[in-house]
């Protein structure tokens, strides 16, 4: 079928996964259209302007960084499959990161992009555990790429077979969970393996210019390959006919059709588009009314059965405070840490908090502290991420919402400063030239993700299949998380469901 509004593939959402899927398909000659509701590309990994200054949303660091020449890695696969030259992302490695536990950071593990640094730290601070840790690292190295067709196994249980110190166990899980777990308190072993490789065996990097460079490269590749992108063009409904996604109804009421549809917006969010009744429930859930998600879950469960119910569950969300400073963090005495994962006791509780924000643990990112090869960011930045409870943000009246943002901006910074070299309140106040805080409500408002979820639903759909033959999922609810994971998810779903016969024959 050929008409101006018919495509080989329509992709819902122009985040990292949707863009990567689009590039891959366009390279193989498919007529592709990405439909994005927001005015900006990037989704959870985007940027915005406030008082003339550009703020990144979802980039502390790109994970999976390896030096040039290292073969067989996720980054290499991603660059090759998207035909991106390594230099185009201009990735600059981290300087050093830390995991610190205890009320004043009394136990600390330093790590860099060189795995031997972490090994040496563990040998020095947990001498009785180092052999087990090394064997665990060997398990991760030999695990292979079989991450989706394996049964779910508790990573906690497996790790306990390798070492016995609960403090070390929690210090390992803290960074891996903060950077890639949709599940509370435990991870599936395959996800643990992916994250262990991504953070510890490989490492962190970012371009000096930040998220914008990554997005620009992806858009250029996509457009150069002939891909079309429609912005401010949300999909309001998926019309089902004979077990297929027969048409997409756009927010303005127009319809487009496609042979295949890939959705990057989340599993429950996609199913809700298939069912106006469910869609109504989702709108209620996302509105600042505090009504919760029960109508949607009930309707989804009824209509789509067990699989749909698995996509529903306690989603995890975060607040992130951002502080722009006159000077580089190093000049203020904060040293050269790039990322600090902190927890103020010996046990780590990665879960949706009972209070609005959980200040006990979090992630500090000092984006100035990448090795930019002599260049530097013109201003200093301090970002602090903490777990937050969506329900206690969504229903707030506007005035209270603003007041709470200010409160948690201060409190999250105060909590994080316990784990950085001390500077006085007066110095910090004099240094601060701009601040912002985004909340679970911000995330839902700008990306449509249910309950402000950053890592999607706890249950994943590894094969990306849905109840409709030609509708597939990619992105966080397919199962690969983070920036690199999202792009790989888009690539693998495009390969698996649409390009496979061709790739096999090539």
Ligand X SMILES: Cc1cc2nc3c(=O)[nH]c(=O)nc-3n(C[C@H](O)[C@H](O)[C@H](O)COP(=O)(O)OP(=O)(O)OC[C@H]3O[C@@H](n4cnc5c(N)ncnc54)[C@H](O)[C@@H]3O)c2cc1C
Residues in contact with ligand X by CB under 6 A are 12-18, 35-38, 43-45, 57-63, 234-235, 264-265, 318, 320, 385, 443, 447-449, 454, 475-476, 481-484, 486
Smallest separation, CB 230 to ligand X (Å)? 9
Smallest separation, CB 60 to ligand X (Å)? 3
Report the candidate in 416, 321, 404 with the shortest Cα–Cα distance to residue 355.
404
Smallest separation, CB 443 to ligand X (Å)? 6
* CB neighbour class for 112 (10 Å; exposed up to 12, middle 13-18, buried from 19): middle
Q: How many CB atoms lie within 10 A of CB 290?
A: 12
Nearer to ligand X, 265 or 396 (CB): 265
Handedness of CA 475, 481, 483, 489 (dihedral sign): negative
Nearer to ligand X, 130 or 481 (CB): 481
Please give the Cα distance from 427 to 80 (Å, whole number). 47
Side-chain half-sphere of 470: how many Cα atoms within 13 Å? Answer: 21
SS3 258: strand
Question: 276-286 vs 294-310: helix axis angle to the nearest 10?
Answer: 110
Please give the Cα distance from 162 to 130 (Å, whole number). 10
CA distances to 42, 259, 464, 496 from 473, rounded to whole Å, are 17, 15, 5, 12
Please give the Cα distance from 270 to 262 (Å, whole number). 10
Nearer to ligand X, 62 or 122 (CB): 62
Q: Tell me if 360 sits within 8 A of 346, measured CB to CB.
A: no
Smallest separation, CB 15 to ligand X (Å)? 2
Smallest separation, CB 67 to ligand X (Å)? 19
Nearer to ligand X, 107 or 496 (CB): 496
Smallest separation, CB 224 to ligand X (Å)? 20
Smallest separation, CB 10 to ligand X (Å)? 10
| Local structure of residue 249 (DSSP, 8 states) | E
Nearer to ligand X, 168 or 300 (CB): 300
Q: Which helix (H) or strand (E) holds 310?
A: helix 294-310
Nearer to ligand X, 380 or 452 (CB): 452
Nearer to ligand X, 45 or 129 (CB): 45
Smallest separation, CB 163 to ligand X (Å)? 27
Nearer to ligand X, 297 or 478 (CB): 478
The residue length of the chain stands at 506
E-strand ranges in 408-470 read 432-438
Smallest separation, CB 459 to ligand X (Å)? 16
Please give the Cα distance from 350 to 204 (Å, whole number). 22
Nearer to ligand X, 362 or 380 (CB): 362
Residues 6+ apart with CB under 8 A from 450: 266, 268, 269, 282, 285, 286, 293, 296, 315, 444, 457
């Amino acid at each position: 079928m050929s008409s101006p509004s018919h495509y080989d593939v329509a992709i819902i959402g122009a985040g990292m996964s949707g863009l990567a899927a689009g590039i891959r398909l366009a390279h193989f000659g498919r007529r592709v259209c990405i439909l994005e509701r927001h005015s900006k590309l990037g989704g959870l990994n985007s940027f915005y302007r406030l008082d003339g200054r550009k703020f990144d949303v979802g980039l502390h660091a790109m994970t999976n960084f390896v030096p040039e020449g290292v073969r067989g890695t996720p980054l290499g696969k991603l660059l090759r499959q998207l035909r991106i030259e390594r230099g185009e992302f201009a990735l600059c490695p981290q300087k050093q990161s830390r995991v610190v536990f205890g009320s004043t950071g009394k136990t600390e593990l330093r790590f860099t992009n060189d795995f031997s640094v972490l090994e040496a730290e563990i040998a020095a601070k947990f001498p009785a555990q180092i052999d087990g840790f090394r064997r665990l690292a060997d398990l991760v190295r030999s695990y292979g790429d079989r991450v989706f067709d394996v049964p779910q196994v508790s990573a906690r249980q497996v790790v306990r077979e390798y070492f016995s110190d609960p403090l070390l166990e929690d210090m390992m899980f803290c960074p891996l969970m903060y950077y890639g777990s949709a599940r509370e308190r435990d991870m599936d072993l395959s996800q643990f393996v992916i994250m262990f490789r991504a953070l510890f065996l490989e490492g962190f990097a970012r371009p000096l210019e930040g998220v914008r460079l990554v997005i620009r490269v992806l858009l250029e590749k996509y457009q150069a390959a002939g891909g079309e992108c429609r912005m401010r063009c949300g999909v309001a409904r998926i019309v089902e006919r004979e077990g297929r996604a027969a048409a997409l109804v756009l927010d303005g009421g127009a319809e487009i059709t496609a042979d295949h549809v890939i959705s990057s917006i989340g599993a429950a969010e996609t199913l809700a588009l298939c069912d106006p009744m469910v869609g109504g429930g989702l709108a209620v859930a996302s509105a600042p009314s505090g009504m919760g998600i029960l109508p949607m879950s009930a309707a989804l469960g009824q209509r789509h059965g067990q699989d749909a119910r698995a996509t529903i569950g306690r989603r995890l969300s975060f607040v992130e405070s951002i502080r722009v400073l006159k000077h580089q963090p190093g000049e203020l005495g904060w040293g050269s840490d790039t990322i600090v994962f902190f927890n103020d006791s010996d046990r780590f509780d990665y879960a949706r908090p009972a209070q609005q924000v959980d200040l006990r643990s979090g992630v500090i990112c000092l984006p100035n502290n990448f090795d930019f090869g002599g260049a530097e960011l013109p201003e200093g930045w301090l970002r602090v991420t903490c777990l937050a409870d969506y329900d206690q943000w969504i229903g707030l009246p506007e005035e209270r919402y603003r007041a709470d943002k200010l409160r948690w901006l201060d409190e999250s910074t105060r909590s994080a400063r316990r784990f950085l070299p001390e500077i006085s309140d007066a110095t910090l106040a004099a240094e601060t030239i701009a601040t912002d805080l985004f909340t679970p409500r911000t995330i839902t408002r700008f990306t449509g993700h249910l309950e402000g979820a950053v890592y999607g639903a706890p249950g994943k759909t590894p094969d990306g299949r849905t109840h409709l033959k030609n509708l597939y999922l990619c992105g966080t609810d397919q199962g690969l998380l983070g920036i690199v994971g999202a792009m790989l998810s888009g690539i693998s779903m495009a390969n698996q469901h649409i390009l496979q016969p061709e790739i096999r024959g090539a």
